[in-house]
Structure 1
């Protein structure tokens, strides 16, 4: 995740980070600029279209559709950010849950071997969950038309959780913890699976295909028709104007694509590996 000063406007405006959308869109922006210039040349010098021709009224359509596309993009980015923020809250919950379990076990356990086991196994869950969510096959588990390697192996976060619960139950059988303490620990143990399931829901349930495809097609055709309506008024200036409009619209879609899966390797994705390392450090301090 990128570290930055939110109040440093000068750096935001004039510094280009490798995650900036202009880098990703640059080739197609050049193509659109050439396309717009060609359309402008043909309208003005070849077909000699003037302000009295009907084609000059196309911006009326753009004005009406502009409101529609703005609503779609606002909903798109808000939905993507909700997924990103929910992922952050889930991993924040995992941090607190790991701390709470470590604190309770540190008070209940007297045997050093038992304490050593949980000192290792609690951070292991966070680390295994990080790797599980970064596995590209995890995002495809709900697809019916693929045979995934992950389906032929055991669910690793569940296996770690199973080891924890079996150890807790063994402690109860050995009278090292009471029945009341077992009940207290059960809530913390159950939260691990709840967090894992919620993260998987975000990971393997993308935005519906038809919705995402429609927005991309809408942006493309909206941009491609802009030169026909504005060439007469702007001349060759239509090229940079159309490129800028495309940059704004396409950038919003690219940003939404990046953050809707917060458990990937993109610059703005959640630092789950760092969070897992912090959990390890905190648990070792507590037990």
Structure 2
């Protein structure tokens, strides 16, 4: 995730970052500019349309549809940001749950071997969940001193959660923890799985295709019809105006596409790798 100072206006205005939509839209903006210039030339120089031409009334359509497209883009952006924020909430819950789990184990466990196991296995869940959500391949052994054989054809976070619960159950059978402590620790393991399921729901449930495709087609057709009506008002100045309008509308759609999947590697995605590293640091401090 990009780190920035929200109060530094000049850096936003004059700096084009890797995540800026201008770079991505530049080729099609050039096409829109050439297209607008062609339409302007044909209407002004070649067709020589009169001022009372019906083509001039096309701008009435844009006035009516402008409100509709603003509602669609506002809903699209809000929906995408809700997904991004929910993903951040889930990883915040993972941080708190890992701390609570480690805190309880630090008080309950007295055997250093058991403490060392959980010191490694709790951060392992966060690290593996991060890679699982990014669809990255992981090694069969995450830590040198903890033997975790992971089957990549199965659900990897669930395998780690099963290892954790198996260890807790073994502690209970060996009378190292009581039945009440088993129930308390079991609730923490359940929370791990709940967080994983919520993240997978965000990851695997994108915006419906028909809705996303309609917005893109709507924006493109809306922009392509702009030069016809506004040439009468702006002349050749319609070229930069139409390009700028396309940049604004298409940028909103691109931003929504990027943040609706917050677990990727884009500049605006969640720093899940950094969060998992913080979990490792906090757990090692507690246990």
TM-score range, shorter chain: over 0.9
- Structure 2 residues not aligned, in runs of 5+: 138-150
Partners of 2:155 and 2:15 lie apart in 1 by: 43
Equivalent positions of 1:1-287 (< 5 A) are 1-135=1-135, 153-287=153-287
Match of 1:147 in 2: none
If the length of structure 2 is used for normalisation, what is the TM-score?
0.94
Match of 1:143 in 2: none
1:235 Cα shift? 1.1
Q: Deviations over 1:32-75 (max 9, x none)?
A: 00100100000111111122111101110000000000000000
Write out the 4+ residue segments of structure 1 that deviate beyond 3 Å after TM superposition. Answer: none
Partners of 1:257 and 1:100 lie apart in 2 by: 35
Aligned residues of 1:50 and 1:56 also touching (Cα < 8 A): no
If the length of structure 1 is used for normalisation, what is the TM-score?
0.94
1:136 Cα shift? 7.4
Q: Deviations over 1:132-189 (max 9, x none)?
A: 000179xxxxxxxxxxxxx971111000000000000000001000001111111111
Partners of 2:252 and 2:51 lie apart in 1 by: 33
1:103 Cα shift? 0.2
Say which SS state the counterpart of residue 2 (structure 1) adopts: coil
- Structure 1 residues not aligned, in runs of 5+: 138-150
Partners of 1:29 and 1:70 lie apart in 2 by: 20
Quote the RMSD (CA, aligned, Å).
Answer: 1.2
Say which SS state the counterpart of residue 33 (structure 1) adopts: helix
Partners of 2:154 and 2:54 lie apart in 1 by: 65
Q: Deviations over 1:204-230 (max 9, x none)?
A: 111000000000000000000000001
